[in-house]
Amino acid sequence: MMIVDLIDQDDFRERLVRMGVQVPAGAAPDEAARMVLQAHAVQPIPAFEDTVKDLMTHFDVMLPTVRAAIEEHLLTSMR
């Protein structure tokens, strides 16, 4: 049996914080994604696209709320 560690809201938040965005602990994925977009609009975040692309490679092991936040907010900003 294989056990997979799912990407949850805490993992998602940690990735965003590593990009330099201050996301409060306990922030919902939707709120965290919006905070990143606001910060990126003020001053471009160099790691933004690479981080989003990397997260996209793990869609199959993400909680639905994290996946929805990425699809709705972060992916649409890259198009």
Listed residue (13, 61, 8, 56) closest to 33, CA to CA = 13
Is the separation of the CB atoms in 53 and 35 below 8 Å? no
What per-residue confidence (pLDDT) applies to 69?
A: 97
What per-residue confidence (pLDDT) applies to 3?
A: 64
Per domain, the residue ranges of the chain are 9-16+28-78
For the chain, how many residues are written? 79
Q: Within 13 Å of residue 6, how many CA atoms lie on the same side as its CB?
A: 9
Name the 3-class secondary structure at 13: helix
The model's pTM: 0.89
pLDDT in tens, the chain (79 residues): 656 688 999 999 999 999 999 999 999 999 999 999 999 999 999 999 999 999 999 999 999 999 999 999 999 887 6
